[in-house]
Amino acid sequence: MADSSEPRQPSETSVEENKKGLKYLDFVQVAAIYIVVCFSSLYEYAKENAGPLKLGVQTVEGTVKTIIGPVYEKFHDVPLELLKFVDRKVPKS
């Protein structure tokens, strides 16, 4: 039997990658976060001031969340992983 008192250590490369973050393309991630925050603020403002269309907006929003939710859960890491891959390739080119 394996000794369960000894915790498993993650590989050194994965720990090293997590600590490093993005070396060259960090500005892309920051810009994407800024755009998402601005769009979210604009969307919330428009939703609050929709007037008589507010109920329709909420219905469509619920439908979109139901349909897109599982897809988002499956692929939400892909853009960051792609950005990390490209960031690692920048010094090689």
22 pLDDT band, cuts 50/70/90, is confident
Rounded Cα distance, 54 and 15, in Å: 47
pLDDT at position 19, please? 52
Q: Which amino acid is at 36?
A: V
Mean pLDDT value across residues 38-63: 95
The answer to whether residue 55 scores a pLDDT higher than 90 is yes
The answer to whether residue 80 scores a pLDDT higher than 80 is yes
Q: How far apart are the first and last CA of the chain?
A: 48
pLDDT at position 92, please? 81
The answer to whether residue 41 scores a pLDDT higher than 80 is yes
Supply 63's token pair.
């439908």
Mean pLDDT value across residues 61-78: 95
